[in-house]
A and B are shown apart, each in its own frame.
Chain A
């Protein structure tokens, strides 16, 4: 009898737990101000060096893709992205060009961004996420705070935002000091998911030209 009573109660509790609305963190009363302050904190660097692990679950690929590598960033618009595994691959992105190299072909390929508005816009978007300048995000995204400690925020691109064509949501987890990101999770409209985790992040480290060389650097 007890079992008969306990089981429904347990099921009720389980179902209640699942049926309960998702718990969201308290939203700041002045979100623009909050975003502006956060943006200032998270973008308060000129150079950046960080390791990353990127996981991609894409409909195109059978298996989850896991990449490890390093990022070097120099403001305002220079990013070197070096992949160490599963394949050695480097790409330098500036506001004028993309230069890439892979160990397989051992060739450097350069793509000019001049007069290529679409590519430029994609790279501008990416630059905003990596450089931590979130102050402007409210105009083009609906922003929601999911958790306060550590700070996790969700960005849903608004109509008119170019990202809306591809991206459903972007979820960002900040470091405890909120000075940079800990993780970015991107859910695409197609269902593909990309997660990038940042480790060993250094703000304002001295960088030199060799950090932005693609060939032979990795």
Chain B
């Protein structure tokens, strides 16, 4: 059936040569013209597994406004300038950052407002819980009160007593220390080592100030992120010369990653193109070889357009693979070109077509395997790559002969290198022995290979931006990654109540101060009401009288008037001012802890992203609660990838074995043909392990793709040597390997880690696969009983 179909199409295109070529050129021009209008996806989300935990965490990170914040650190670079100049710069920058890009700018808190909002008599009754009230009760002893009164007397002697002594009138017991302990956690809750001065965030060294900018631009929106970053950078350029700025923002990563990927793709394309041209023109000395070279590029253009029709938006990562796919797909054109140059007849052309088609099918099936993955990005990659391979195959079989053998003449000039390679006799047994030993070593090494699931490794952000983050962390801390405990509720109060009980449990399980929660500063209304009732009952039921009596007896010796602490007693039963919590510092704090989306409320609590903390908190995760942790995401990814690899790798191997058997109808020949595949996989894992380079989701997929290519070498070489065909397969496989290595080797010049990782995996697989097909297959076949024809 293949023979009939092939000949039918082959003859048809030769009959309508002009029409065929015109149609190909026109469609290619059309697809090229629409390339600039195609939308690309820069996010790695597509490559993430659909695991419930990972999806929920990633969705949460996208929905929350956490990643839509930018932090700017301004530094004084001139020692003669001081805080005044620094704060002026902060204020003028903050004033210049306007909508639509910048939604809100926070430069600090007013400490004055902080003092008022968190005053003992306003704030204390609402947030001091059972434990703190017990502490207050324990303070009501003659010794303690006498000590406190003496403390106030001494405080009035201190220089700062000018500002603070009169405040003691509303706080004879020093309850403010309990509140101050809570306030200490406010800067810490930002995960920065920040101090507040004149209403501005300032570093401990007093030379840096910080602005927290909120924006509506989602971090993953590459186009708007670019606009946002340019706008901010333009504003920073207007700062005085003695101010330097560092930006920390996910948007910078998005913009930088896109820039790096684009640059990498361009560099890889230039390198691969130049190398292909030099190789082809140098070896064949025939300008028409340019058509072989053009085929993969045309296939990439066609595939981008067709895959976009199906997918809507293509990932940059998938397009990145296109460079390698181009290297892979050039083989078919090359085999056909060499065969035509050798002047083969229609019958041998048919044999060639069969080999090329099986080669293409092994590659296609190695991509088909990816459809069995649960990762959507792999489906896109599979679709794009299969299109690329099939288009290359069709062009090679039916279009290339139209432009190469114009008059049907043999045009081969020099095949001496290929023939020498073809006829070289490798010492079979020693070669097989060395191969077996090396493979055994690689197999042993591969047992201890490591797996790296850290997604940050695929972040190709430019060093300049990473340096800014390093500077920032040196000044402001915040290096440690934070995990988030999320509590959801239908209303703020419902979520806050759940948050209160969770906070109690979490605080008991983690070291003090490690769990930062809104419940610590501002519990739910229910808890606040209970706290206030407890406060009122404590003072009404004898607390007030007892304290008054104790103060009377101890204050006389220090000269206090009987009315010295009247403001405290007068304010004990005052009603709380709820308005402040809605507009003041508390409202700003809530922005960090509360997210309201689509009628539901999420309350966030933060803690260091450490395994022991995640383990400690796991038992208290209930319904409506979940933890977002990069560490947990990484662990889930490892589990998922290993699970998928266990399915995909055997499937890929099975497909290859089946295709090899279908082609040869002999197990022995099929197994010999699979030597490069075995060698490529085992040596790849062994070499990675030997050099202590961990496997990751990207290089595993790249290795699986490579298997589809190196299996072609095995099929071609086994076919060539076993049946002594002299189709020029050795030179074709060699050139193919060279082009593949150039295509994937070009990725070694990439700065984007995912592309670089792909390059390493493919080069290792291809080199080992090629060498085994060139040396081991002829050696193994030489040990077999020869066949004449099949």
Contacts and interface: CB of A to CB of B under 8 A. Distances in A.
Interface of A: 54, 56, 58-63, 65, 67, 71, 79, 81, 83, 87, 89, 91, 93, 98, 100, 102, 104-105, 115-126, 130, 135-136, 139-140, 160-167, 186, 188, 190, 192, 194
Given A60-B560, A161-B112, A162-B115, A118 B183 contact: yes
A79 B114 contact: no
Given A58-B165, A122-B163, A117 B195 contact: yes
B561 A61 contact: yes
A60 B196 contact: no
Contact of A118 (B111, B162, B168, B169): B111
B158 interface: yes
Given A79-B159, A117-B197, A160-B199, 16 more contacts: A59-B169, A60-B166, A60-B169, A61-B156, A62-B560, A81-B159, A100-B154, A102-B154, A104-B150, A116-B180, A117-B114, A121-B196, A121-B198, A125-B163, A160-B112, A162-B110
B116 A165 contact: yes
Interface string B544-586: 0000000000000011110110000000000000000000000
21 contacts: A59-B166, A61-B560, A62-B560, A67-B157, A81-B158, A87-B157, A104-B150, A115-B188, A117-B187, A117-B197, A119-B180, A121-B198, A122-B163, A124-B197, A136-B82, A139-B84, A140-B198, A162-B112, A162-B198, A166-B163, A166-B167
A163 B195 CA distance: 18
B166 A117 contact: no
A63 B115 contact: no
A110 to B, nearest CB: 14
B160 interface: yes
A68 to B, nearest CB: 11
Contacts of A116: 180, 183-184
B363 to A, nearest CB: 60
B415 interface: no
Nearest to B188: A115
A120 B202 CA distance: 12
Main secondary structure of the interface of B (DSSP, over half): helix
A121 B158 contact: no
B77 interface: no
Residue among B109, B168, B558 with max Cβ neighbours from chain A (10 Å): B558
Contacts of B152: 60
B560 A117 contact: no
A60 B84 CA distance: 36
Contacts of A124: 197
Contacts of B160: 93, 98, 119, 122-123, 126
Interface in B170-204: 180, 183-184, 186-188, 193, 195-199
A62 B561 contact: yes
A93 B564 contact: no
Interface string B84-122: 100000000000000000000000011110111000000
A166 B119 CA distance: 13
Contacts of A163: 163
A147 to B, nearest CB: 23
Nearest to B167: A166
A63 B115 CA distance: 29
B570 to A, nearest CB: 14
B163 A126 contact: yes
Given A116-B180, A116-B184, A59 B163 contact: no
A56 B183 contact: no
A60 B168 contact: yes
Contacts of A87: 154, 157
Contacts of A188: 166
Interface in B728-762: none
A164 B112 contact: yes
Contacts of B563: 59
A92 to B, nearest CB: 11
A89 B157 contact: yes
Nearest to B84: A136
B166 A58 contact: yes
Residue among A54, A60, A65, A104 with max Cβ neighbours from chain B (10 Å): A60
A136 B186 CA distance: 28
Contact of A60 (B157, B163, B164, B561): B561
Nearest to A140: B198
B156 A65 contact: yes
A91 B169 CA distance: 22
A183 B109 CA distance: 33
A31 to B, nearest CB: 16
Contacts of A161: 112
Contacts of B186: 117
A124 B159 CA distance: 12
Contact of B159 (A60, A61, A93, A166): A93
Nearest to A76: B206
A162 B110 CA distance: 8
Contacts of A91: 158-159
Ranked 3 nearest A-B pairs via Cβ? A117-B196, A60-B564, A162-B112
B166 A166 contact: yes
B159 A126 contact: yes
A81 B155 CA distance: 12
A71 B114 CA distance: 31
Residue among B110, B158, B162 with max Cβ neighbours from chain A (10 Å): B162
Residue among B116, B188, B561, B563 with max Cβ neighbours from chain A (10 Å): B561
B460 to A, nearest CB: 36
Nearest to B555: A60
A165 B115 contact: yes
Contacts of A60: 152, 156, 165-166, 168-169, 560-561, 564
